[in-house]
Chain A
């Protein structure tokens, strides 16, 4: 089946530094990738939709300048948390959309294993 990887799996950083998280589709091409954030005991909240070769679309309330998204190739999207603060500590999960299934209404998202960010 389709596999999505994330790197790193865990990162601890000091307040004020920037952190980059990579999301890769390993055996398929993903024109669209999604970035989610999950706080403890809460559900996944969509942060942004990343389209290859174009600017990301951010959800309401998500700061574009703080969460920089780059989708430079069909298999890689990156999320950079700039000037991270303790309130940015969370579990970040990406997913990649696979259009190999026929028909738009059957498209499937495959999820990465997540990245645990802790900002001290």
Chain B
């Protein structure tokens, strides 16, 4: 059974700091790894999608990497801003999306 785990569950950092969110998955059969952002009481916003043939994707201050052999993905956020405060979810896709529990990020001004 595919499981997706995210560490840490919550993270609080001062504005401007670079940070890394971690995601691990148990099934190497996944073919996509996706990172989402969720604001309180809202739906999901897709941030980055990494296909299994890729190692990383970048969008602005965000960089996501994928290592299928170790079953890990990381989301790197550079120069964090208060507006980055949200819950970040990773999801592995192997036919259907399996979500991790999320990391609740708080960036303090």
Interface of A toward B, CB cutoff 8 Å: 6, 34, 42-46, 49, 91, 93, 95, 105-106, 108-114, 116
Residues of B58-99 whose CB lies within 8 A of A: 89, 96-99
CB distance from A55 to the nearest CB of B (A): 17
Residues of B within 8 A of A42 (CB): 101
Check if B51 sits within 8 Å of A105, measured CB to CB: yes
**Given A44-B89, A108-B49, A113-B42 contact (CB < 8 Å):** yes
Answer whether residue B19 sits at the interface, using C-beta atoms and an 8 A cutoff: no
Q: Are B100 and A43 in contact (CB under 8 A)?
A: yes
**Interface residue tally on B, bucketed by range:** 20 to 34
Residues of B within 8 A of A44 (CB): 44, 89, 97, 99
For A109, list chain B residues within 8 Å (CB).
97
B residues contacting A by CB (< 8 A) are 31-32, 36, 41-46, 49, 51-52, 89, 96-102
Nearest residue, chain A, Cβ from B31: A105
Establish whether residues A34 and B96, one from each chain, have CB atoms under 8 Å apart when the complex forms: yes
Q: Which B residues lie within 8 Å of A113 (CB)?
A: 42-43
Please determine whether A108 and B46 come into contact, CB atoms closer than 8 angstroms: yes
Q: Are B89 and A105 in contact, CB atoms less than 8 angstroms apart?
A: no
Distance (whole angstroms) from the CB of B44 to the closest CB of chain A: 4
Q: Which A residue's beta carbon lies closest to that of B97?
A: A109
CB contacts (< 8 Å) of B99 on chain A: these are: 43-45
A to B CB contacts below 8 Å, 10 in the list: A34-B97, A43-B100, A43-B101, A45-B99, A110-B46, A111-B44, A112-B43, A113-B42, A114-B41, A114-B42
- List 12 other contacts, CB 8 Å, given A45-B99, A93-B44, A95-B44: A42-B101, A43-B89, A43-B102, A44-B89, A95-B97, A106-B49, A106-B51, A110-B46, A111-B44, A112-B43, A114-B41, A114-B43
